[in-house]
Amino acid sequence: MSIIAYVKQEWAALWQSPWQVALVSYIPIVSILCLWWLFSAGLPKQLPVAVVDQDNSQISRMLTRQMTANSVISVESYADLTQAQDAMRQASVYAVVVIPHQFKQQLITGRSPTIDIRYNSQYLLVGKLLSSQIQMSLGAGLLKTAAQKLLLSGVNHASVAVNLSPVSSQTTALFNRNNNYVGFLVPPVLIALWQLLAMMIFTNALNRELITQQNQVLLPHDLWVRVLAKCMVFLPIMLLHSSFILVLLYQYLSLPHAGEVGVLVVSQAVMLLALWLLVTLIFLIMKEPARCVSFCTALFAPAFAFMGITFPINEMPTIAQYWRLVMPSSHYIDTHVNVISYGADPLEVIGQLVSYWMFLPLIPVVVVLWLKANKTPLSAENTNFSSRAIQQITEEDK
Amino acid sequence: MSLLQLYFAEWRALLADKAIVVTLFGGVVFYSVLYPLPYLNQVPTEQTVVVVDHDNSSLSRKLIRHADASPKIQIVSHATNIDEAKHLIQQGHAHGLLVIPSGFRRNLMLGKGATLSYGGDASYFLIYSAVAEGLVEAGMDASKQVQLVGLLARGENPAMAQKSLSPVNLNAVPVFNPSLGYTPYVVPGLFLLILHQTLLIGTGILGAGQWRNKGYWLEVKPLKLLSVRLAMFTSLYLLFASFYIGYCFYAYQVSMLGSFIETVLLILPFLLATGAVGVALSCLFVRRDIPTQIYLLSSMPILFVAGFVWPTALIPEPLVVISQIIPAIPAMNAMLKLNQMGAGWSAILSHWIQLWGIFALACLLAWWGIKHRQSEAESINQ
């Protein structure tokens, strides 16, 4: 039987299983779109902040207006501090700003009053953002008052600004100018999802090859050709989905990208092969459908945490850094960031593929496991077996 | 079959299934170590920054030393121009950039003002915020010192000078997670989700493996089977939940502000509702390898829609509404409010009632589903 025949057989088998068809067709598209929709707001805005104004002076109201003018903050006024605290505990506001009693009086009489800001760091992302934004808004407001004070004390108009802040600063978010969460979080999330899908599809396809005869699990004697045929069928399909992700993010949403996006497909193909090598290894060890799926799930479900996008790699414990290298997605995401943010050229991308070398030693292990496994006798007609397997599947699906 | 016999029969069915044992016992223990592993160091520190110093004055060197002294920043190299610095960042040798303009010290001493430029790699938000915070602090510090020198030169007395530099103190303090650590942020919600997903997978595989085979599950009344199965899974998961909330939260230094009774009262409807949803959905499966896959795919969306990673206010309304039928969503929110933010029982009462509501609805569906499966098996056997 030629390899073309195996590919045709694999293709036919794919259509026999409704779950596999779902996995290669609408499930990826629906989940990709849903996850993007979830984060589609992109920039956090109008997050509720409780302001307790105990001073009720002209300055305190000005400060409140300053915060209202910030797009990230949505001011909610509370008369009572305990109510604001309760709202904070119930997560209906993410921060509390307290302007103390006699704030203006203290300011005028030359004492330094304190504005208390409490932000909810249980919601780390929101809390940190609000903390900096509230301080920025209040700082801008207070600068105006300070400028008046300086003018009153006789400083000339030209030097007021310099007196207030001799060193001004200009902070630039490199590679993601407006701190857009879609550009930051959605690509790794979608890659993690895509890796899970590729893992499942290949596991299911492999599980189909298991033959149970007289309570003994057998593998077809031509398994390696079949695995090759599976790669040839599923590689284009999965690359189609990853291209859909790239087109959605960098063409339709036109997120900024410094390098050539198309070259990423090469890296994705290598990632898939590494992933499927791992899956084949697990399959040869487990040789039982549900256990194989469970084990692969346990292995690849936390891949997102180990990508090092949300939490920097160099801050991970050493053992986590090693575990990270077991996940093909971590190798890929490095290339992805290099291309999208730093504009790596195709040659550098090819160079980075070297990092997958650590998957190569798996090949001899797989071969040894394959040689040791119980196989069907060579004489048996393989078409017979595969048709039996297909029959089994269709029966199960009914 | 008496209830007790049935209870033990359920246990035997569970323990005899290696796939379930691997997922439940293996998964729960494995994930409790693996998921928080990358975050054990809590906060990003000593982020690498490259400096472009066009000034080379005493003040610019002082500024660089101060920046390097910040726990958030480590100055790794000096570049002669911005292009070189950019190259270093692209090579991954540095994640941040500090540019000191030429004439920095001179301009400040002449009272003209100067601008410092900071840059951080915003491909990684935590790195960016660490770099930006560290550099802004160092810059403000330098600014204050120059101002102070100026004021003192003009003959202000030192005490007054200090005050006029900072007329208002902004006292910003993080609450509920005072260290701004990453594990207290991720672990409380994530661990409930792990319990939720493994419980669903367990009930799913158990059901999928049974409906087409003969056994006690086809003989007892649907309501009896449902209640005993729920009792079995709930007793097992009370053990797992004790391990997670009792030991792991303690080990990962996650705050526990709720009382024991309140926590148990919350966990109980969560486990019951999840178990009931699991049994109800298990009636849809006949292949044992499918439940794991479906629940795995749903994990990430559930985690993100829960509202602690990405604020609920920014999630599209339809997604939030649909997500409310998943037991993990009210449970995670209630757990965060009760244990991490110290809200009273009244604050989580609505979530608690919602969990019981899901439980009641799922029980109804599960009862109907089991009944359907049993009659189907009967018609095949006849």
Nearest to B37 among A288, A298, A317 (CB): A317
What average pLDDT does the structure give for chain B?
88
Alpha-carbon gap, residue B351 to B60, rounded angstroms? 56
Read off the pLDDT of residues A242-287 as tens digits, 9 standing for 90 and up: 999 999 999 998 888 888 888 999 999 999 999 999 999 999 988 8
Is A121 an interface residue toward B (CB < 8 Å)? Answer: yes
Q: Which residue has the higher pLDDT, B65 or B153?
A: B65
| Range in A17-31, B78-92, B224-238 the model is least confident about | B78-92
- Count of residues for chain A? 398
- The enclosing H or E element of B345 equals helix B345-381
Across the range A57-78, mean pLDDT stands at 92
User: Could you tell me the two tokens for A56?
Assistant: 């009720």
Q: Which residue has the higher pLDDT, B138 or B1?
A: B138
Give the per-residue pLDDT at A378.
63
Contacts of A339 (CB under 8 A, 6+ apart): A257, A258, A259, A260, A261, A263, A264, A349
| Range in A268-272, A321-325, A380-384, B16-20 the model is least confident about | A380-384
Read off the pLDDT of residues B137-191 as tens digits, 9 standing for 90 and up: 888 888 888 777 777 777 777 776 666 666 778 888 898 888 888 888 989 999 9
CB contact under 8 A, B180 and A171: no
What average pLDDT does the structure give for chain A?
86
Is B4 an interface residue toward A (CB < 8 Å)? Answer: no
Residues in chain A with CB shorter than 8 Å from the CB of B340 are 122
pLDDT at residue B282 is higher than 70: yes
Give the per-residue pLDDT at A383.
47
Read off the pLDDT of residues A288-322 as tens digits, 9 standing for 90 and up: 888 888 889 888 988 998 998 888 888 899 999 99
Domains of chain A: 3-40+180-397 (no CATH), 47-164 (3.40.1710.10)
A173 three-state secondary structure: strand
A281 touches A366 (CB < 8 A): yes
Contacts of B192 (CB under 8 A, 6+ apart): B244, B270, B328, B331, B332, B335
Nearest to B288 among A159, A189, A290 (CB): A290
Most confident of B5-14, B71-80, B215-224, B358-367: B358-367
Read off the pLDDT of residues B79-92 as tens digits, 9 standing for 90 and up: 888 888 888 888 88
Across the range A164-174, mean pLDDT stands at 79
Task: Name the residue type at position B6.
Answer: L
Q: Binning pLDDT at 50, 70 and 90, where does residue A145 land?
A: confident
Q: Specify the CATH class of B47-165 in words.
A: alpha beta
Q: Binning pLDDT at 50, 70 and 90, where does residue B351 land?
A: very high
Give the per-residue pLDDT at B162.
66
B23 touches B201 (CB < 8 A): yes
Closest CA to A227 of A207, A213, A246: A207
pLDDT at residue A397 is higher than 50: no
Q: Binning pLDDT at 50, 70 and 90, where does residue A398 land?
A: very low
Is A154 an interface residue toward B (CB < 8 Å)? Answer: no
CA distance B7 to chain A (A): 24
Is A28 an interface residue toward B (CB < 8 Å)? Answer: no
pLDDT at residue B242 is higher than 90: yes
A340 touches A187 (CB < 8 A): yes
Alpha-carbon gap, residue B8 to B254, rounded angstroms? 36
Q: Between residues 82 and 141 of chain B, which touch chain A (CB distance below 8 Å)?
A: 89-90, 95, 97, 108, 111-129, 132-133, 135-136, 139-140
How many pairs of residues across A and B have Cβ atoms under 8 Å apart?
A: 332
Contacts of B366 (CB under 8 A, 6+ apart): B226, B276, B279, B280, B283
The helix/strand count (H/E) of chain B reads as 16, 5
Across the range A107-122, mean pLDDT stands at 86
Nearest to B172 among A90, A119, A126 (CB): A119
CA distance A272 to chain B (A): 18
A20 three-state secondary structure: helix
Is B169 an interface residue toward A (CB < 8 Å)? Answer: yes
A73 three-state secondary structure: strand
Is B10 an interface residue toward A (CB < 8 Å)? Answer: no
Closest CA to B202 of A126, A117, A290: A290
CATH 3.40.1710 boundaries in chain B: 47-165
Contacts of A47 (CB under 8 A, 6+ apart): A72, A73, A74, A94, A126, A129, A130, B311, B313
Across the range B63-89, mean pLDDT stands at 88
pLDDT above 90 as % of chain A: 38
Contacts of A176 (CB under 8 A, 6+ apart): A183, A184, A256, A341, B122, B123
Nearest to A310 among B126, B164, B184 (CB): B126
Give the per-residue pLDDT at B3.
87
The alpha carbons of chain A give a radius of gyration, in whole angstroms, of 30
- The enclosing H or E element of B98 equals strand B96-100
pLDDT at residue A396 is higher than 70: no
Q: Which residue has the higher pLDDT, A212 or A330?
A: A330
The one-character DSSP state at A87 is H
Give the per-residue pLDDT at B166.
66
pLDDT above 70 as % of chain B: 98
- Chain B CA closest to residue A193: B297
Give the per-residue pLDDT at B238.
94
Is A6 an interface residue toward B (CB < 8 Å)? Answer: no
